[in-house]
Amino acid sequence: MPDQSVTVVVSDAHLGHARDGVRDSFHRFLQTVPDLGTHLLINGDLFDFWFEYHHVIPRHCFPTMARLAEIRRAGVAITATGGNHDRWGLGFWESELGATFVRSDTTLELAGWQAWVAHGDGIGELESRSRWAHALTRHPLTERLFRLIHPDFGFGLVHRMSAYLEARRDPDLVDRAATAQASFARAKLSQQPELNLVVMGHTHRAALEPAGENRWYLNPGAWMDGGRFAVISRDGPELRRFD
């Protein structure tokens, strides 16, 4: 039997854009989750793009959703937070999976620890164009306008944009953003003594940083970069890789 107080945390799989084999390995990983714990926290950017119309979801997401439905039936609770690639939900997660979907940040109890959870986009962004991009994707008007576009055209447009932005990704800027993100986490833990954990993703930089007794900043790293994930138990958080 899995430990009833274990939460499995995964972020930044970017399924639909990640290299060949990432989706298959993630599906194998999902089969092991019911043996690891009873709660799966997907902390943003599971998909490289997820957008719900009232009667349409991205076709390439279906196999993963089907496997998530299987672990729900096995008794695993699922909480998903929206990332900068996949925060536009309309109720599919709740109605079809029985999962909890949160578009931005939330406070959760994870394995008995009080945790502030957010994907992390918009925190530590150093370029003005990045800050503008995050503000634009979060704006309700942007979502309403995109919903007017035919899915075939909209999904194709985003796929091309994603490849372009990935090619322009600057590792030095990402490292600096990860440092700023860790500083934000330390400040939040200092300002909110009731918190035990700050959990973020987004930077693709794994981190487990103690911030006092029974207090940590956790970033599981990117699943797409070697199967990174984390486990939170009554003993605290732990970084892991899936073989």
Q: Where are the domains of the chain?
A: 7-241
Q: Tell me: pLDDT of 167 over 60.
A: no
pLDDT for 90 equals 87
pTM above 0.85, yes or no: yes
Q: Which of 109-113, 122-126, 136-140 has the lowest mean pLDDT?
A: 122-126
pLDDT for 157 equals 82
Q: Tell me: pLDDT of 170 over 90.
A: no
Exposure of 177 by Cβ count < 10 A (0-12 exposed, 13-18 middle, 19+ buried)?
buried
CB 48 within 8 Å of CB 18 = yes
CB 195 within 8 Å of CB 212 = no
Mean pLDDT of 52-79: 94
pLDDT in tens, 186-224: 999 999 999 999 999 999 999 999 999 999 999 999 999
Percent of the chain at pLDDT > 70 equals 93
**Token pair for 133:** 């991009």
Mean pLDDT of 9-21: 90
Mean pLDDT of 54-66: 93
Q: Give the model's confidence band at 1: pLDDT under 50 very low, under 70 low, under 90 confident, else very high.
A: very low
Q: Return the higher-pLDDT residue of 165 and 160.
A: 160
Which distant-in-sequence residues (6+ apart) come within 8 Å of 225 by Cβ? 12, 204
pLDDT for 141 equals 87
How many whole angstroms separate alpha carbon 240 and alpha carbon 228? 6
Q: Tell me: pLDDT of 27 over 50.
A: yes
Domain 7-241 indexed as CATH 3.30.360.10: no
For tokens 């899936």, name the residue. 242
pLDDT for 18 equals 80
Mean pLDDT for all residues in the chain: 90
CB 211 within 8 Å of CB 186 = yes
